[in-house]
Structures are given as C-alpha cells and as structure tokens.
Chain A
Amino acid sequence: MKYVLFASFLALAAPLSAQNQDLGQPIPEGGEVETIEEDGGLEVTVSFEGNLDDLGIAIPGFATDRDVATPANSSGTAALGKELARVITSDLRNNGLFKPTGPDALPQPGFAEITAPSWSTWSNRGAEMLVHGYVRGRADSKLTVGCYLYDMALQQELVREGWVVQPADWRRAAHKCADLIYSRLTGESPFFDSRIAYIAETGTKDNRTKRLAIMDSDGANHRFITTGRSTALTPRYSPDYKKLSYLSYVDGNPRIYVYDIGTGRQTLITQSANPTFAPRWSPDGRWLLYSMAVNGNTDIYRVSSSGGEPIRLTDTPGIDIGGSYSPDGSRIVFESDRSGAQQCYVMDANGGNQRRISFGGARCATPEWSPRGDQIAFTNASTFNISVMSPSGGNVRVLTNGWQDEAPTWAPNGRIIQFFRTERNSGKTGLYQVDLTGENLRKLPTPVDASDPAWGPILP
C-alpha cells in the first residue's frame, strides 16, 4: 500500500517539475513606493520658450543630511546621492529631449541648499533648469528621497516631490524624479518608472538560445527568468507586474504559460493539447487574450486571468492572431490573413463587429494600441518597418527603416515605441526605441542580443 501511494505521488509531481524545469531563480518582489508631500511649491509657469532639446538642465549630486550606511550603496548615503543624480541625468539624456549636465561635472550642493539654491553658483553654467534633491537614511533602513526642479531665469521652484523607498528600490526614486521633471517640462505623462520584459538571445543563427529576461526601463536591474534550456518567446507583463505570460517550448510544444513572479509557479494559459501563441493582457488585468491553433487553423480566444472557460473571439479559416486592447478595454486590434495576407482588424472586446482597418497595400502585423488610445503601432510586414496609424487605419506614418524591424511596444505614456531589429545574414537582434515623431532612434543597452520587447505600464 505504501508503495502504491509513493508511486502516485511521483506521478503527480512529475508534470509540475517538468513544467518548471526551465525557470531560474525566483525574482524578489519589489517594495512599495510611498509618495510624500514636500511642503511648499507654487504653480509657476516655466520661463523657457525654446525647443526642449536645447533646454539645459543642471543635475548636481543629491545632498544628504547625514552620511550613513545604506544597503543601497556601500559608501553610504552621500555617494548614493551622486548615483541618484547620475541615473536622472542618464534618463533625461537618453530620452533625447534635453541637454542635462550630471553631477560629475558640477559642484555638490549642501543639504540646506536643496530648498534654497545658491543661484550664483549655477547661473553661469548655461542651464535654464536646476534639479536639486536629497536622500536621507531612515532608522528602518528605508530611504527618503526628495526631488526639486527650479527655473533659473525666474529663480523659482517649479515642482517638488518626495518618496520613501526600500534600499533595493533606490533607482525607482531616481526614475520618479526624472518622471517628475519630464512631466513638468513637457506636459506629458511619466514613463521612466517602468519595466521591460524581453527575450535575450545568444548563439548562432541555427542554434539560438532564447531566454525570458526583465529589466528596468533604463536597462538596470537586469534578470534572466528562464535558464535557456528551452526556447522562450513573446513575453508580456501583467499590468500589475505580478505575472509574466510568455511562450515556452518547455514540454516540446509551443504553449503559453503564466508565470507568477511572487510564488515562482507557472501554469498553462489553457488546458489543451493544441499549441497556443501570442499572450496579451487587458489594460485592467482581468482578461488574457491568446491565440490557439486547432488542426492548423489559428483563432483568438479570451480567458479570465483568474481562470475559467475560454471564449473564442474569431472564427475564420486562416490565421487570426495577437490582439491589443484599446486603453478603455472596449475594443481589440488584431491581425488576420483572412483576406489572403496579414492585415489589421478591429473588433469589439466580445469578438463582435470585426472590420479591417489597414488598406495601404502592405502587410499589417503585430498591431499595438497606444496607451493614449489615439494611435496603433504595427509592423509593416512587407517592408519590415515600424509604422503608426489612427485607430481607423488612416494617417499612416513610417517611423523606422532597418533591414527588419518588428514587434512594436509602447512606452507607458504613448510617446515612445520600442521594437526589435534583426540584422541581415547574421540574424543578430537588438532592442531599439524611437519617438512617436520618428526622432531620437537609439539602441537599448542589453547584455546580449535581444528581441520581443514588452514595455509595462508605470509601476504601481
């Protein structure tokens, strides 16, 4: 009897371990970031009226009231203050909109100057804006970070905010400060305090290892999630960042799994022997779209993220795949070859009212609805460029011109698009981003080759 019990236990345990055999170390969950009121602050109109990319911003090191030890920096809070300013400088510089000068080229203000800048120290440095900030180590080991933006011409404060973060989350305070400055000066929504899931690629073209990986929006805090034993593709963060859905060949077949970051467990998106592709979350995180091939015919399905019966949304012979919700969750843009070639279609969230929106002559693939709702980014799969169009299919604009660019994903504020570029012959891949205007194209730093970027929303 004992032997029988033991055997059945093994039988139950085997599929679970097989399912997880490609997962690496679990990821520690991030802490909460508490926003605190900084006293003072007036509504002041920015004095600068030129182009933002000519706007000089001086960002000296953040001051500390007392240089104390912190897990965030082995040299203490004073050194951390400089690091904070470096991260903010690099955020604003890489964005391409401003001309920031970082702490390594500037004098270090004292703690008392943070709320009362020594204007004469900064006035002849060619900067129209001045950023000041402080970092304070708390008794509970958390950090308080304050961020102040001053208009040099007016000699007045434009905005201030403060945050309490876990030491491990110190970079988030820097990103929040960069977001505060960016939003105050451009009027746009923030985007730096966010993360990206993507596929890290190594090896030769005919023997490529593809691993699920995550990183902050600036490439920091990089982690591999899977070991690379099996091919992983097309990840998507849930809007609350608690789960990752992605395709894995871990059992030999392409299937979508949902990986719970907190528990380290992963489950199949649907219990079916059929291959599943292209996972997508609804903006409120309540629904997941996936595409499933039955006898070679692929259709789009919707399932509640808490489980339950899936609902089939498309029903045509041919490939219906992908899908991206409008920000209000009421509509879905997806791709289908029902007309004979890949084209983009819009339907209601329940699958009704399906209609084609792309008529430009080129193949339309991987459509992604902007978080602002006013644009749809897609891959022109005839020329392999990233393009945008209005939700009705008009006003098409081509943004990139690589040999093969594909798979656009939006910044949380809908102003920047990331995608991946493949090089001819070598098959090498990399992540790129470009402004909605088509300007400021740049390659993102990744430890190895990279594809399938998925930019999450602003961190909760």
Chain B
Amino acid sequence: MNTRIATGLMLASTIALAACSKKAPEELPPPPTETATPTPTAPTGPTVGSQAHFVDAVGQENTVVYFDTDRFNIDAEDQTKLQRQAQYFSQYQQVNFTIEGHCDERGTREYNLALGERRANAAKNYLVSIGIPANRIRTVSYGKERPVALGSNESAWAQNRRAATITIN
C-alpha cells in the first residue's frame, strides 16, 4: 500500500518537475526553511497533526493551490503541491483534514459557493487518486466570504481563488 503510494508520488513528481510555475500569485509568503523530510515529534516542536506541524513539514506554499478565473482544474503545479501534502498524510495516517474552497470577489455569491465546493472537491479528488482515503478528507466551500488578499485587483483575486488544506485536530 505504502509502496504503491510512494511509487505513484515519485512518478507524479517527475512529471510535475518538468512543468514550469506560471500562475503563482504575487506576494506569497516567504519560502519555508524546512527540508522535504519532516522531522516529527521533536520535543519542543508543534504537535503532529496540528496545522503548524503540517505547515512546517510541507511548507506554507504547498498547503494552498490556486485557480484561474472560473476554473477548478488541478494543473501540474497544483499536483506537485498536493503530492507534497499526500506525503505528509501518508506518513501521518491518523491525521484527517479539511480542504476549503474559495473564490475571488468578482462572482455572484451563490455561484461562488458552488464553485468553491467544486474547487475543494477537485483537490480532494486528486489526493484520493494518489492514494489518500476519501474518508479522511472533509471539504467546505466559503465562496467569496473569506478572502485572504483584501484588494480589488488581479493580484488579490488570484490569491483568493484557492483551495487551502487545514488539518483537523
């Protein structure tokens, strides 16, 4: 089981490496100092399964995938991030998590609720396709109700069209 996941991840990573980053929004948080391999259960570090532990392990930038206007497809860059998440959730099988789907403000309220749900499910479906059990993943849509970037411009909107992974403690 674990071997199959690992093989799948390696294959997917190889493919993903070939794809260039092209739509990462500006003003992303700084890259993490953490290396790819997490060193869990250090006596003073965050608890396993806490959001802080997850962020430390996979890097903040890998906890959120971004979408183009009105789109919900998981592209190569998103896949790389989700594979990084899948490594974590394979290693810590006791950790369940929520994927929050969000939209930018330039959409009508109800449609955005449905679109956020579709984005969260797109990320979930990819994680399931690479071996994470569906029953560990909860989805919730916030539509345009919870923006992280507060401006009314393309850069802010790009940061708000997202699916964010949050661990459940």
Determine which of A233, A322, A407, A422 lies in contact with B105 in the assembled complex, contact meaning CB atoms within 8 Å.
A422
Q: Are B111 and A319 in contact (CB under 8 A)?
A: yes
Name which residue of chain B comes closest to A293, CB basis.
B117
Determine which of A296, A322, A335, A365 lies in contact with B117 in the assembled complex, contact meaning CB atoms within 8 Å.
A296
Q: Which of B78-115 contact A (CB under 8 A)?
A: 105-111, 113-115
Check A277/B150 contact, CB under 8 A, given A254-B140, A295-B121.
no
B99 to chain A, nearest CB (A): 11
Q: Are A253 and B106 in contact (CB under 8 A)?
A: no
Q: Are A366 and B108 in contact (CB under 8 A)?
A: yes
B152 to chain A, nearest CB (A): 4
B112 to chain A, nearest CB (A): 10
**Residue interface bits A429-452, CB-to-B below 8 A is 1, else 0:** 000000000000000000000011
A427 CA to B150 CA, complexed, in Å: 8
Is A424 at the interface (CB under 8 A from chain B)?
yes
Chain B residues lying within 8 Å of A321, measured Cβ to Cβ, are 110-111, 114
Q: Are B150 and A293 in contact (CB under 8 A)?
A: no
A198 to chain B, nearest CB (A): 12
Q: Report whether over half of chain B's contact residues are helix, strand or loop; otherwise say mixed.
A: mixed
Most B Cβ at <10 Å: residue of A254, A406, A425: A254
A338 to chain B, nearest CB (A): 13
Give the interface size class of chain B: 20 to 34
Q: Report whether over half of chain A's contact residues are helix, strand or loop; otherwise say mixed.
A: strand
Q: Are B146 and A366 in contact (CB under 8 A)?
A: no
Q: Closest 6 A-B residue pairs measured CB to CB?
A: A296-B121, A298-B114, A296-B118, A365-B108, A293-B117, A319-B114
Besides the known contacts A254-B113, A335-B111, A406-B109, 15 further A-B residue pairs in the complex with CB atoms under 8 A apart: A205-B150, A206-B146, A234-B109, A247-B113, A275-B140, A295-B121, A296-B120, A296-B125, A319-B114, A337-B111, A342-B108, A366-B110, A381-B111, A407-B108, A422-B105
24 contacts between A and B (CB under 8 A): A205-B147, A233-B145, A254-B143, A277-B113, A296-B118, A296-B125, A298-B114, A298-B118, A319-B114, A319-B118, A321-B111, A335-B111, A337-B70, A341-B70, A342-B108, A342-B111, A365-B108, A366-B110, A381-B111, A407-B109, A425-B151, A427-B147, A451-B109, A452-B109
